[in-house]
């Protein structure tokens, strides 16, 4: 047995346990340092991940677990995401009445689930890692349990999440029944000549439903706005980047490595899902007045754009997904950190509270405007280049299937709609006349560092995309599509 392949996950779990124990002996005043400590630990683990060599895929636990370039890319992505989320939750943890140490260690356990998901090569690991993420998120979403909205968000996530797990599991059972295996390599060999088997198709559809819930794609997106609005801000950011990316990692591994023949015949279905998700997310975001709810709908729209990469069914499409997720990560973290800082003292999160922000805090106003521009996909920021790569990957496939032109048209319409609400936010920041009674905004050194890192990377990824693009394309090559 090759346990050393999962050394990164083991390190993350150990770090989580250490933080949980350290929490017992840390006086309340210093609890926020636990968050900084866990982020520092993750930085070490991230540095350690560069010593791993994956020229050849390494399999462990009887083929359940695979460490290849694709898995390693996602592991690094998740580590960076969790590191940033931990740092912004240090800022937010003042709101927790108790248990901020637990919040940090739970985030680390969720991270370990995401990292296992990146390596899942068997339905058992897929299910267990997905549940590890989801169950931890039930707690993280309802962490402000003295506020009814947080609790309500947690319970809604719980019921719908458990429902989607049930579908996923029943789908796994049916696929297992049809093919007699749960291991992805064996499944690949088996499924090639069973593309017409109804048992396999129904099972895969149910699995698609379960994963569609994680990435909040239509028609499994109902939970997203409520949960995004009600959760603690740092959890919302984590949901938007971590949980969504884990869903995509699993979806890509499953569709492209395990059942490529079925996936190819599903192109119209995936295209339809992508198109409706884009339109639904963007149209529903238009009338929103609550900033977090708006970002919830916008994240549905972004799930739609990312689904385009899956629907393209090509290595370029998958590479574009990896690139898009990386750009999205820094943008979303920056946006949520500004929201946390600006709305620290007020309970509500209405957009109107951003009015005249550029006078109170020009730096934060600029940051939020920058991230909105990147989310909207305006050059030269990371969001633009990600969208460009996705659209190019889809257009490349248009010679195979003319419906791809329609998908591109829908995506462009979606981007245009999204300009309205993203620029609505920017307008409120700079030109809204109404001045509210506003508290002074204090930006701690940690937040300052996070904001700078996000801003620099947002611009860097937009202007000099080559290095990340190369990393993404080497990563997707190991999908063997």
Partner 1 sequence: MIGLEHYLIVSALLFSLGMMGVILRRNLIVIYMGLELMLNAANLALVAFSRFNNSMDGQVMVFFVITVAAAEVAVGLALIVALYRKRQSTEVADLTTLKL
Least distance (Å) between residue 174 CB and partner 1: 7
Least distance (Å) between residue 350 CB and partner 1: 12
Q: Which stretch binds partner 1 (CB under 8 A): 25-33, 160-168, 372-380, 387-395?
A: 160-168
| Residue 312 or 425 having the CB closest to partner 1 | 425
| Residue 107 or 181 having the CB closest to partner 1 | 181
352 interacts with partner 1 by CB under 8 A: no
Q: Which residues contact 231 (CB under 8 A, 6 or more apart)?
A: 140, 141, 142, 143, 150, 153, 154, 239
233 interacts with partner 1 by CB under 8 A: no
Distant-in-sequence contacts of 452-456, Cβ < 8 A, 24+ apart: 453/84, 453/330, 454/84, 454/330, 454/331, 454/333, 454/334, 454/337, 454/367, 454/371, 455/334, 455/367, 455/370
173 interacts with partner 1 by CB under 8 A: yes
Burial of 345 (0-12, 13-18, 19+ CB in 10 A): exposed
131 interacts with partner 1 by CB under 8 A: yes
Contact mark string toward partner 1, 283..302, x via CB under 8 A: ----xxxx--x---------
194 interacts with partner 1 by CB under 8 A: no
165 interacts with partner 1 by CB under 8 A: yes
Question: Looking up tokens 């599509």, which residue turns up?
Answer: 481
| Residue 202 or 471 having the CB closest to partner 1 | 202
158 interacts with partner 1 by CB under 8 A: yes
| Residue 9 or 267 having the CB closest to partner 1 | 9
148 interacts with partner 1 by CB under 8 A: yes
Q: Which of residues 409-448 bind partner 1 (CB under 8 A)?
A: none
Q: How far apart are CA 235 and CA 449, in angstroms?
A: 20
| Residue 104 or 157 having the CB closest to partner 1 | 157
Report the greatest alpha carbon distance in the chain. 67
Three-class SS state of 187: helix
Q: Are 65 and 6 in contact (CB under 8 A)?
A: yes
Q: How far apart are CA 115 and CA 119, in angstroms?
A: 7
Question: Looking up tokens 């994956």, which residue turns up?
Answer: 54
172 interacts with partner 1 by CB under 8 A: yes
Q: Which residues contact 48 (CB under 8 A, 6 or more apart)?
A: 7, 8, 11
| Residue 154 or 304 having the CB closest to partner 1 | 154
Question: Applying CB under 8 A, which residues contact partner 1?
Answer: 123-124, 127-128, 131, 135, 138-139, 142, 145-146, 148-149, 151-156, 158-159, 162-163, 165-166, 169-170, 172-174, 176-177, 180-182, 225-226, 229-230, 287-290, 293
């Amino acid at each position: 047995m090759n346990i050393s392949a999962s050394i990164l996950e083991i390190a993350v779990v150990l770090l989580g346990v250490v933080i949980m124990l350290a929490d017992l002996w840390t006086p309340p005043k210093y609890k926020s340092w636990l968050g900084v400590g866990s982020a520092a630990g993750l930085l070490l683990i991230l540095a350690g991940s560069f010593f791993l060599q994956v020229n050849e895929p390494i399999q462990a636990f009887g083929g359940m677990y695979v460490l290849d370039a694709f898995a390693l890319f996602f592991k690094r992505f998740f580590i960076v995401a969790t590191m940033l989320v931990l740092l912004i939750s240090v800022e937010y943890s003042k709101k927790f009445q108790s248990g901020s140490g637990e919040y940090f260690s739970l985030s680390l356990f969720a991270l370990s689930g995401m990292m296992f998901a990146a390596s899942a090569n068997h339905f058992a690991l897929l299910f267990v890692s997905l549940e590890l993420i989801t169950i931890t998120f039930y707690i993280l979403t309802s962490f402000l349990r003295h506020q009814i909205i947080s609790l309500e968000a947690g319970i809604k996530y719980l019921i719908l999440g458990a429902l989607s797990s049930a579908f996923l599991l029943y789908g796994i059972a049916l696929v297992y029944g049809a093919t007699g295996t749960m291991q992805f390599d064996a499944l690949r060999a088996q499924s090639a000549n069973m593309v017409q088997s109804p048992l396999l198709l129904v099972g895969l559809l149910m699995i698609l439903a379960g994963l569609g819930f994680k990435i909040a794609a239509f028609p499994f997106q109902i939970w997203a706005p409520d949960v995004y609005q009600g959760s603690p801000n740092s959890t919302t950011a984590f949901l938007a980047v971590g949980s969504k990316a884990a869903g995509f990692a699993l979806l890509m591994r499953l569709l492209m490595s395990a059942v490529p023949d079925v996936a190819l015949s599903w192109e119209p279905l995936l295209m339809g899902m992508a198109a409706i998700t884009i339109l639904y997310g963007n149209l529903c975001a238009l009338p929103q007045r609550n900033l977090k709810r708006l970002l919830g709908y916008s994240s549905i729209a972004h799930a739609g754009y990312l689904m385009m990469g899956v629907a393209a069914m090509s290595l370029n499409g998958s590479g574009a997904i990896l690139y898009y997720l990386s750009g999205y990560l820094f943008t979303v973290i920056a946006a949520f950190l500004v929201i946390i800082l600006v709305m620290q003292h007020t309970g509500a999160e209405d957009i109107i509270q951003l009015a005249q922000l550029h006078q109170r805090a020009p730096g934060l106003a600029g940051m939020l405007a920058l991230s909105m521009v990147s989310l909207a996909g305006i050059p030269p920021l990371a969001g633009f280049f990600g969208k460009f790569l996705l659209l190019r990957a889809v257009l490349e496939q248009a010679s195979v299937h003319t419906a791809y032109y329609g998908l591109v048209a829908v995506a462009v319409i979606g981007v245009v709609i999204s300009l309205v609400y993203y620029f609505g936010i920017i307008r409120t920041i700079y030109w809204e006349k109404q001045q509210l009674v506003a508290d002074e905004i204090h930006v701690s050194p940690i937040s300052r560092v996070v904001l700078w890192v996000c801003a620099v990377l947002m611009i860097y990824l937009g202007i000099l995309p080559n290095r990340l693009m190369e990393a993404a394309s080497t990563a997707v090559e190991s999908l063997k599509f």
